[in-house]
Structure 1
């Protein structure tokens, strides 16, 4: 009996300790989420750079800087000043793709800090017409990023501003396009970064770092049947392409199939003509490669497929520039002019 009472006390003590630890863990998790900007009603973003001050006074100590598109959590308002917990979204997307590094480098993911900022240029889910304001600001910033001497961080800011539209205004008619634009900017930046790596020229796709697909897949999931879902599916092809063909036919053969499959699945996509052009070009390349290998039968088959694809484009997309480009490829193949390598006689 004594042993049973001791055992019960031990079990009771263990259960109490477990509940205490669990409670502390849950409280800590809630505190971390609150500190990370999960109070959705207080979430907001900025259209401009804002200095965070210790006090509501421009002469007080500067705590940090909030750049356009990054989030703050509004805690208090006082006249022309707002107390915020700033940069609460730092590293969010880095966690989404299981990376240990911030999305755009250390400078773009500053440590969250609390303080005061000027009460201007702040857009929240309750801002009237906020979806159009954010979309327009993102588009303006994206245009700046495309200039020869673009402001530092313009592309990243455009990505974040676009991202806020579906985050804050999920029912906005601009949500689908904004989600795709945000995903595409990140995709192109990652693609450019990967192209500078030595592995970029590896023939097999699995030997190269893969571009993060999460944002594109969310566009396809959240906006099925839209042109933006189709655009996202087109971008995803990049992760399957060869880095360098190395003069071998297996890559353009495989890539032709990828682009033809896309065009069949998304015939109404604005990217469908481009996909078929890419397939046509690769078949023209194969004609040259097979001729180098003295495989006339395969070269003739590729030449016929080039002509067939160009003809298909004229039927389905007669007004597309890509159709005219495909016609030029088919003509060169017909004239026995190499499409790949040197075409000098």
Structure 2
């Protein structure tokens, strides 16, 4: 798919982007004029000639700025991505050194280039992102598929902020980053520390940015649920302190987002933790607290059944409450 001529892009695109993203993009008209991304890995050559080795590559989702056309070639500044300072107080714990290559000037083939003025561009970029995301979840995922999906989803929201796909694209981009950082941190010895502050925090910047852009969307509720990961204990270590605290986190979340897509799961998590506390208190011979936890577990299970009767989490919470009534430990060894 050909990108519009640089003349048309310079004349038309700054005004369009200003109207769409006046509050989100403070870059100059020139910097915005011919911004695009590629949907495939593109070789960048010093001249419009592929007989010489490429000087660099542009991987899917990275940004280019188109400056000139020459037949089937376009002259670009490649890898011109700028890091958005969406959360100055929250810095990523892990970064791929190849995720932000240095900008280079050169020529690439005029194909697979999609920008803010490309017809149906939001769908094209979103579709490419979804494809790379699907590839990243395969057992032997292609290298860089997760990073490509992350960047391409960001482009949807960045280039097409009024697209109906923008909120979900922004969430998916943030969630990919979150899950990758979460996986990295889970491999560290500190991941098993009881206190959350004793382990590295998962980077919150992208989720917080999403919540500012779309405060009333269901994706904000999903982001808020994921952010709870940074407050949970790494390992309960058989002590009631953690499930007590985590119960309150999940109940507070469910109260704040009663119609959210994660509310039923939050209530189930609270019910499970109360069920676990029954066992923990019993082992400490704290009958009073054990009985109170059993009542709390049943109460939360009843609330789940009333509010979300079709949810699997309602049935699962009912099973937890039943186990508690039967004297079957929810936490630890449940064999008699």
Match of 2:272 in 1: 281
The change in CA–CA distance for 1:40 and 1:322 in structure 2 (over 3 A counts) is: same
Taking the aligned partners of 2:204 and 2:183, their CA distance within structure 1 comes to 15
Match of 1:81 in 2: 73
Question: Looking at CA atoms only, which structure, 1 or 2, has the larger radius of gyration?
Answer: 1
Alpha carbons 1:93, 1:103 under 8 Å: kept: no
For 1:18-33, list aligned pairs within 5 A: none
RMSD across aligned positions (CA): 1.9
Out of 210, 219, 222, the position equivalent to 1:219 is 210
Alpha carbons 2:39, 2:113 under 8 Å: kept: yes
Out of 220, 223, 234, the position equivalent to 1:229 is 220
Taking the aligned partners of 1:225 and 1:100, their CA distance within structure 2 comes to 25
How big is the shift at 1:61? Answer: 3.3
Taking the aligned partners of 2:121 and 2:194, their CA distance within structure 1 comes to 46
Taking the aligned partners of 1:98 and 1:65, their CA distance within structure 2 comes to 32
Taking the aligned partners of 2:177 and 2:116, their CA distance within structure 1 comes to 23
Q: What is the TM-score of this pair, normalised by structure 1?
A: 0.86
Q: What whole-Å deviation, never above 9, does each CA across 1:8-46 have from its counterpart, x for those lacking one? A: xxxxxxxxxxxxxxxxxxxxxxxxx88xx9701211111
How big is the shift at 1:154? Answer: 0.9
The change in CA–CA distance for 1:162 and 1:220 in structure 2 (over 3 A counts) is: same
Q: What is the TM-score of this pair, normalised by structure 2?
A: 0.88
How big is the shift at 1:328? Answer: 1.0
| Structure 2: tracts of 5 or more residues without a match | 1-26
The change in CA–CA distance for 1:269 and 1:101 in structure 2 (over 3 A counts) is: closer
Alpha carbons 2:86, 2:205 under 8 Å: kept: no
Out of 156, 161, 178, the position equivalent to 2:169 is 178
Match of 1:206 in 2: 197
Match of 2:45 in 1: 53
Match of 1:115 in 2: 106
Does residue 71 in structure 1 map to residue 76 in structure 2? no
Bigger proportion of residues as helix: 1
For 1:137-216, list aligned pairs within 5 A: 137-216=128-207
Taking the aligned partners of 1:82 and 1:294, their CA distance within structure 2 comes to 75
Alpha carbons 1:200, 1:208 under 8 Å: kept: yes
Taking the aligned partners of 2:92 and 2:214, their CA distance within structure 1 comes to 29
Taking the aligned partners of 2:310 and 2:291, their CA distance within structure 1 comes to 28
Taking the aligned partners of 2:249 and 2:330, their CA distance within structure 1 comes to 20
How big is the shift at 1:107? Answer: 2.0
